[in-house]
């Protein structure tokens, strides 16, 4: 059985992230979405809220599980018995950072492989940062996030 880990902050999860997860599920037997807590990042949703949102989105898919974590992703991968990390690439601008991250992870844990997946072209511009900004200004979100997340964002940014 081939298991993969898709780590990220997912604050919020976008349709681009969902597209990457759906692609990963076609490649691997099991995909664990690992939601990171970070002292460096201030999130709009708590870890518990992000876990709940993603569990709701994938509730019918037995190949997808969701966990929260803090610390190094390579340590989490070892604990989970996973040696494949899924990473999304939207544009060339993502490549340099992701390449550096993959090499650093490999230096810390040589048995871990990073697999890069690209979303559909219509999601290639999409980021959680842009979605948060649009939500904070009361913009239309339905083309960027799942309805569950859209509702949560609207509630978070009520006047």
Catalytic one of 17, 23, 50, 87: 17
Tell me the β-bridge partners of 5.
Answer: 32, 85
Residue 41 appears among annotated catalytic residues: yes
Please tell me the predicted confidence (pLDDT) of residue 41.
78
- Cα-based distances in Å from 142 to 6, 8, 97, 138, 139: 24, 22, 29, 12, 10
Kindly give, in sequence order, each residue whose CB lies less than 8 Å from that of residue 68, ignoring residues fewer than 6 positions away: 34, 35, 36, 37, 47, 48, 50, 51
CA distance 127 to 15: 9
Maximum pairwise Cα distance, the chain: 49
CATH of the domain at 123: 3.40.50.620
Q: 78 lies in which domain range? A: 3-156
Please tell me the predicted confidence (pLDDT) of residue 90.
87
Statement: residue 159 has pLDDT above 70: no
Task: Quick: pLDDT tens for 33-80.
Answer: 999 997 777 899 999 999 999 999 999 999 999 999 999 999 999 999
Please tell me the predicted confidence (pLDDT) of residue 51.
98
Please tell me the predicted confidence (pLDDT) of residue 127.
93
Q: How many domains is the chain built from?
A: 1
**pTM of the entire structure?**
0.94
Confidence of residue 158 (pLDDT cuts 50, 70, 90): confident
Rg (CA), the chain: 15
Percent share of the chain, pLDDT over 90: 90
Catalytic one of 23, 50, 87, 128: 128
Catalytic one of 41, 59, 62, 158: 41
Phi-psi region of 138 (alpha: psi -120 to 50; beta: other; left: phi over 0): left
Statement: residue 93 has pLDDT above 90: no
Mean pLDDT along residues 12-26: 97
Residue 128 appears among annotated catalytic residues: yes
Residue 127 appears among annotated catalytic residues: no
Mean pLDDT along residues 88-103: 88
Catalytic one of 23, 50, 87, 90: 90
């Amino acid at each position: 059985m081939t298991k993969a880990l898709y780590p990220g902050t997912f604050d919020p999860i976008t349709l681009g992230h969902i597209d990457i997860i759906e692609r990963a599920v076609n490649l691997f037997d099991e995909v664990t979405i690992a939601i990171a807590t970070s002292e460096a990042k201030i999130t709009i949703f708590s870890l518990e809220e992000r876990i709940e949102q993603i569990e709701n989105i994938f509730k019918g898919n037995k190949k997808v599980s969701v966990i929260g974590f803090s610390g190094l992703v390579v340590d989490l991968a070892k604990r989970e018995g996973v040696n494949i990390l899924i990473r999304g690439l939207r544009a060339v601008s993502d490549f340099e950072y992701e390449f550096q991250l993959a090499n650093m992870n490999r230096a810390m844990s040589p048995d871990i492989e990073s697999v890069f997946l690209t979303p559909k072209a219509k999601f290639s511009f999409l980021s959680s940062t842009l979605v948060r900004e649009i939500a904070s200004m009361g913009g239309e979100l339905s083309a960027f996030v799942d309805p569950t997340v859209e509702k949560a964002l609207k509630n978070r940014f009520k006047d």
